[in-house]
């Protein structure tokens, strides 16, 4: 599998990512990350691509941690 390289030249915050990137960002396994993303309403499907909206997951994680 090829690794995608993201160039963030303008230092903009990355708002979405694949399941593997989301797992690394939040320290969860794939099954747990999919469950959290679905509960947060943060799943974006484009064709076969499964993306996670980090902004929505951040809000959801903050709401369940308080």
- Write down the domain spans for the chain: 16-65
CA distance 13 to 20: 17
Q: State the pLDDT at residue 45.
A: 96
Q: State the pLDDT at residue 2.
A: 66
Q: State the pLDDT at residue 14.
A: 79
pLDDT in tens, the chain (66 residues): 667 766 656 666 779 999 999 999 999 999 999 999 999 999 999 999 999 999 999 999 999 997
Phi and psi torsions of 2, nearest 5°: -80, 145
Q: State the pLDDT at residue 8.
A: 59
**53 SS3 class:** strand
């Amino acid at each position: 599998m090829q690794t995608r390289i993201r160039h963030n030249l303008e230092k903009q915050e990355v708002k979405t990512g694949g399941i593997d990137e989301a797992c690394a960002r939040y320290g969860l396994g794939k099954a747990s990350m999919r469950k959290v993303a679905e509960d947060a309403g943060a799943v974006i499907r484009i064709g076969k691509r499964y993306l996670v909206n980090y902004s929505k997951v951040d809000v959801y994680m903050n709401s369940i941690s308080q």
